[in-house]
Structure 1
Amino acid sequence: MKGTIEYLRSIRGYILISVILFFASAASGFTAAEQNPEIAEEWLKELEMLKWITDLPPLMILILIFAKNLLACAMAVLLGMGAGVVPVLVAISNGILVGMVAYQVVHKEGILYLLAGILPHGIVELPTVLVSIAIGMRLGHLFLMTIIDGDGDLGEEARAAVSFLIYRVAPLLFVAAVIETFITPLAISLASR
């Protein structure tokens, strides 16, 4: 497999697309929530149903967060071969959700609270997720090129993607889950004082 930096360079265009999709969707979600707060309230109610997770022991919370994020990244990567549709949907749906939740949190708790709830683990998690989306888009593009004109080494690219998922994405998501479980709650408690 290529080195990490070399591999990331080879997918940099797809990374840029995933970043644009995510942040444009987040801005759209924020704007939609601002224009129609009831929609955001409904989305937040859906998330409220997940509050039971916070009652679990920290180790279980860590495992759940890690498993959820790894599954989302694996789906974005592996299902990217379906013409890249799934990774695009993952970027857009997550962006909209983050935007709507951000609107609610900013208006109920303030910007500092939002930053405390996102930044500690988000510094690691968000780039990792966006790179996973980019890898899925790259696989989808190569899949289409292979179907259209037989061009591209889809097998080699798929092996590189799975290797990157296992050896780079999974460890980073584990670090993010540790931070989200143990450090983010402390940051939120400090911000809410």
Structure 2
Amino acid sequence: MNTRSLLHHFKEMKHYFIVVVLVFGFSFYLGWANSASFSHFLKDQLAGLETVSKTLSNKENPQVWFFIFIFLNNAIKSILIIFAGLLLGVWPLFMLVANGMILGYVLSLQTNENTLSIVMKGILPHGIIEIPVILIACAYGLKLGMLVWKMGVQLLVPPERRTASVEMKRILHLTKPLIVGMVVLLLIAAIIESTLTYWLVHL
């Protein structure tokens, strides 16, 4: 399975891509419009990141440390999201909702004048790469989860009609070029976030 096969498979995944975008968008809205209702959960999610950020900021060459942390965190998390989908798709769905709500919550804390500035300086430069990669990882995680459910149901039908296991093997082969592509894109995003984004935020 090569990159061409993966890109061709993206067409078959269009319904999953639509679903993850809609869920992410709805989660973003929940975090934005109902920040008070979810503030305890969202603050807990952000507390760990704030602690790490302060620790890295106090080190020598903080931009290098930010790059290492951002890249490893996003790369490992994205790969885990895909394969955690084998646990019935629960974890990819949770990560999708959590990330959408956190982003919405963070932006809801800004004043109207500052929101556009935060988006343009602190999110857009690297987020234009990072967010689609995470959404793709969630889509494939959900796909694997659905195939696990389907394989369970197909245990009740004759072996010749059990197509889910064949599709599962195909998807697992496709994860090889998928992971390589994701890691490369996340490497680029981490470079941007630890340089351009870091510089813009600290202007």
- State if a TM-score over 0.5 links the two structures: yes
Query: Which segments of 5 or more consecutive residues in structure 2 lack a partner in the other structure?
Result: 155-161
| Uncovered stretches (5+) of structure 1, i.e. residues with no partner | none
Q: Does 1:18 align with 2:31?
A: no
Match for 1:55 among 58, 66, 69? 58
Structure 2 counterparts to residues 139-158 of structure 1, below 5 A:
139-149=144-154, 150-152=162-164, 153=166, 154-158=168-172
The aligned residue for residue 177 of structure 1 is 190
What's 1:133 paired with? 138
Distance 1:39 1:82, change over 3 A: closer
Q: Match of 2:106, as an amino acid?
A: V
Q: Report the CA distance shift for 1:172/1:49 in structure 2 as closer, same or farther (over 3 A).
A: same
Question: Helix, strand or coil: the match of 1:83?
Answer: coil
Distance of 2:39 and 2:22 partners within structure 1? 26
Matched, 1:121 2:123: no
Deviates more, 1:35-44 or 1:136-145: 35-44
Cα 1:141/1:42, change in 2 over 3 Å? closer
Q: TM-score, normalised by structure 2?
A: 0.83
Greater Rg by CA: 2
Alpha-carbon distance in structure 1 between the residues aligned to 2:42 and 2:21: 26
State whether residues 41 and 104 of structure 1, in contact with CA within 8 Å, keep that contact through their aligned partners in structure 2. no
How far 1:125 moved relative to its partner?
0.4
Amino acid at match of 2:75: L
The TM-score, its normalising length taken from structure 1, stands at 0.87
Cα offset, 1:54, TM superposition: 2.7
Match runs of 1:93-132 below 5 Å: 93-106=98-111, 109-132=114-137
Task: Provide the secondary structure at the position in 2 that maps to 1:105.
Answer: coil
Change (3 A) 1:104 1:47: farther
Distance in 2 between the 1:14 and 1:38 partners? 29
Taking a change above 3 Å as real, the CA distance of residues 59 and 48 of structure 1, as seen in their structure-2 partners, is closer
Give the CA deviation at 1:13. 1.0
Structure 2 distance, partners of 1:158, 1:93, is 25
What is the CA RMSD across the aligned residues, in angstroms? 2.3
Deviates more, 1:174-183 or 1:95-104: 95-104
Cα deviation, 1:97-122, whole Å, max 9, x if unaligned, reads: 11111111346944212331000000
Displacement of 1:20: 0.9
Give the Cα separation in 2 of the matches to 1:110 and 1:185: 17
Displacement, 1:81?
A: 1.1
CA distance in 1, matches of 2:23, 2:38: 23
The structural deviation recorded for 1:10 is: 1.8
State the Cα distance separating 1:176 from its structure 2 match.
0.4
Name which of structure 1's ranges 150-159 and 171-180 shifts more when overlaid on structure 2.
Answer: 150-159
TM superposition outliers: structure 1 runs of 4+ over 4 Å: 35-41, 43-46
Q: In structure 2, which of residues 4, 7, 13 is the aligned counterpart of residue 5 of structure 1?
A: 7
